[in-house]
Chain A
Amino acid sequence: MFNGFSHSVMGASHEKTGLVCQDSSAYKVTDHYAVAVVADGHGSKKHFRSHIGSKYAVESTIEAIERFYEDPEQFEENFPKNHKMILRNIEKQIIANWNNKVEKHLKENPVTAEEKSKFTDEEFEKILPESYYGSTLIAAVAGKKFTFGVQIGDGSLVALFDDGKAVMPMEYNESAPANVTASICNSNAATMFSSFYTDKKHLIAMYASTDGLYTSFGSEYDFLDYHTIITGQLTNLETFRQVIVNNLTKRSRYGTEDDISLSCVFDSDFLTEKESLIKEKIEENKKLAAERKAELLKKQV
């Protein structure tokens, strides 16, 4: 049985400057699949509606997954046979959904004089309308027979499979230009996705998070260990959810002050089966962290 949670906290820097949170997050759980999504609106001057764009990115993704899962049995049969092509189609569907939502919103809510007042006419003319809504997107999908994820722009996806090890399985799209942040608003957005797919491993839990979470850690080891600790508590989600919310708030406030979103889906039956393995991993990670620190403090001169 799948379960999940998601939460977004507003960055302390946005609170200070009176900006709204640019992040959005959501999850959906059914008998056949579970999807966790987060999106991070760009938030800079020309992306002045990116808080709406990130919400649309999350909605568009869940709607696309719903559509592909309209006939669950058929999808479960077809996807493993041609996952590369179907993944590209899911990505295209997400972009199409998002463009429709943005177009509709802009039609119903034309740019106001106040929004325009921050630009010269010449500057404003140069901005493509979809750019007003620019956002990143990360989606993690757990199916009964496979697991996959798609991503455009920065953010992280962490998964724990049957060996209990936290990993980042996304295979990054090397064709996306390194110096340009990929965005759902890019004209070639459908070609800028990174993705991963596996039908070889049994998923315990999977997390999608916006950049604000990753950058609140001093090392990638800590970042991965954090997800293992959360996984160790998911069997008590009702009691633990507030702890997660508090911790995200703390990370935003005392870390880099950015918005943070975390969305998770997990297989609660398999998690119960693997609970003792996860507890062992948490202890092992603590020991390894102590060893790494001791090694770090050795002088070389």
Chain B
Amino acid sequence: MSNEKITDAAMNGALDGFEAVSAAKENTQLDNSLDFDDDPLSATGVSRKSLVIFFLIDTSGSMKGKKMGELNTVMEELIPEIRRVGEADTEVKVAVLTFSTDVRWMYSTPIPIEDFEWARLRANGVTSMGAAFKELSLRMSRNSFLNSPSLSFAPVIFLMTDGYPSDDYREGLKELQSNSWYKFGLKAALGIGNEANDDVLAEFTGSKDTVVHAYSGGQLAQMIKIIAVTSSQIGSKSMTLSDDTGREIGEEDVFAAKQKLLGQQIQELVGSQVEESDVPFDTGW
């Protein structure tokens, strides 16, 4: 150890006349030059505050062909970009739920972004969006996917679909809306092609500002990156729980502020995108 400045009265303290060690008194100083290399306790890693990004992806038959091919490519490219978001002080994890006739998780639990590998998806079947909402609600819990001891930011939930749900999505959404992680999470949705219904997507996100549309492969790539990266950045940002006057504000206000900020930033970024002249998804469909 070099330049160690830690004081430790408790460890050296007399056993008979105990003394409570308050760091207010025994203020432990942190020294930037502390050397942690020789640490047998490093077998159990230090976990930072975590952010789980949930991707809900429609893999119904209508996604076949160009849409699914482009989505797979974009998601593979996106992982390194999200990894950079988490480099500073947030542990980013990814969970992917696909829905068609059945709902299925890509991995059995959220995976740290540095270990995450995209499994190429195939499209088939109908659009069981309501079932996906129910499954998400079930897993978004301290007893299931969000069981890490480390503190969590509210999750990012990103829905991508190209069509109208084939099941009772409202029933599933009602269940999801009673989940606190959903309530405080950052929600965004991407409609792919002409058939996707923006009203349904806005019901999911709670606001039209966080719903965008992609009509071509180029737009799909742009939109996925804009939403995923922006929401991860905002989601992993600590916002103060007090205002300028020192008045404490509720957590609800912080989450509402984050959701509003996400909507504003998505709309700004979408508005600044240059139109590309690639072929729309619905040409020839």
- Which residue numbers of A lie inside 8 Å of B, CB to CB? 5-10, 12, 15, 20-30, 37, 44-45, 51-52, 54-56, 58-59, 62, 118, 214-220, 222-223, 225-226, 229-230, 233, 241-247, 249-256, 259, 263, 286, 295-301
A8 touching B91, Cβ below 8 Å: no
Decide if B150 is an interface residue (CB 8 Å cutoff).
yes
Lowest 3 CB-CB distances: which A-B pairs, in order? A21-B23, A218-B47, A58-B20
Query: Are B107's CB and A299's CB within 8 A?
Result: yes
Distance A254 CA – B98 CA, assembled complex (angstroms)? 34
When C-beta atoms are compared, the residue in chain A nearest to B120 turns out to be A301
Contact across chains for B45 and A296 when beta carbons are under 8 A apart: no
Docked pose: A119 CA to B4 CA in angstroms? 40
7 contacts between A and B (CB under 8 A): A9-B6, A215-B151, A242-B1, A243-B40, A247-B42, A299-B106, A301-B104
Contact (Cβ within 8 A) A300 B107: yes
Asked if B30 contacts A12 (CB within 8 A), the reply is: yes
Query: Are A251 and B6 in contact (CB-based, < 8 A)?
Result: no
- A214: chain B residues at CB < 8 Å are 149
For A222, the chain B residues whose CB sits under 8 A away are: 44-45, 47
Contact A250–B46 (Cβ < 8 Å) = yes
Residues of B within 8 A of A6 (CB): 10-11, 21
The reply to whether B10 and A300 form a contact with Cβ atoms under 8 Å apart is no
In the complex the two chains form, is B24's CB within 8 Å of A15's CB? no
Which of B73-81, B108-116, B163-171, B269-277 is the interface stretch? B108-116
Q: Which residue from chain B places its CB closest to the CB of A13 in the assembled complex? A: B238
Chain A residues positioned under 8 Å from B119 (CB to CB): 299, 301
A37 partner residues in chain B, CB cutoff 8 A: 20
Query: How many contacting A-B pairs (Cβ < 8 A)?
Result: 192
In the complex the two chains form, what is the Cα distance from A55 to B115 in whole Å? 42
Binding site for A on B (CB under 8 A): 1, 4, 6, 8, 10-11, 13, 15-16, 18-28, 30, 34, 36, 38-50, 91, 98, 104-109, 111, 115, 117, 119, 121, 147-151, 242, 246, 248
Question: A35's closest neighbor in chain B, by CB?
Answer: B18
Q: Is the CB of A217 within 8 A of B44?
A: yes
Known: A296-B109, A301-B104. A255 touches B39 (CB 8 A): no
- Residue pair A226, B11 in contact (C-beta under 8 Å): no
Question: A243 is contacted by which of B15, B16, B39 (Cβ under 8 Å)?
Answer: B39
Excluding A62-B20, A243-B38, A256-B47, 7 further A-B contacts by CB distance (< 8 Å) are A25-B10, A216-B46, A223-B149, A229-B43, A241-B11, A246-B36, A300-B106
Smallest beta-carbon distance B144→chain A, Å: 14
Q: CB distance B1 to A229 under 8 Å?
A: no
Instruction: Using known A-B contacts A10-B27, A255-B48, A300-B108, determine if residue A55 contacts B22 with beta carbons closer than 8 Å.
Output: yes
Contact of A29 among B15, B44, B98, B106 (CB under 8 A): B15
Determine if B44 and A229 form an interchain contact, defined as CB atoms under 8 angstroms apart: yes
Residues from chain B with Cβ under 8 Å of A243 in the complex: 38-41
Contacting residue for A297 out of B34, B45, B107, B248, CB 8 A: B107
Q: Is the CB of B111 within 8 A of A297?
A: yes
> What are the residues of chain A within 8 A of B22 when measuring CB–CB?
8, 21, 23-24, 51-52, 54-55, 58
Docked complex Cα distance between A20 and B36 (Å) = 24
Q: Specify which of A15, A29, A220, A249 is in contact with B6 (CB 8 Å cutoff).
A: A249
Specify which of B6, B106, B242 is in contact with A301 (CB 8 Å cutoff).
B106
Are A24 and B41 within 8 A (Cβ)? no
Which residues from A are CB-within-8-Å of B46? 216-217, 250-251, 254-255
Contact B104 A8 (CB under 8 A): no
Output the least CB separation between A243 and chain B (Å).
Answer: 6
Cβ of A229 and Cβ of B40 under 8 Å apart? yes
Q: A230 vs B106: C-alpha distance in the bound complex, in angstroms?
A: 37
Q: Give, as a whole number of angstroms, the nearest-CB distance from A135 to chain B.
A: 11
Verify A44–B23 contact, CB threshold 8 A: no
CA distance A4 to B126 in the complex (A): 62
- Could you say which of A10, A20, A254 contacts B48, with CB atoms under 8 Å apart? A254
Beta-carbon nearest neighbor of B148 in chain A: A218
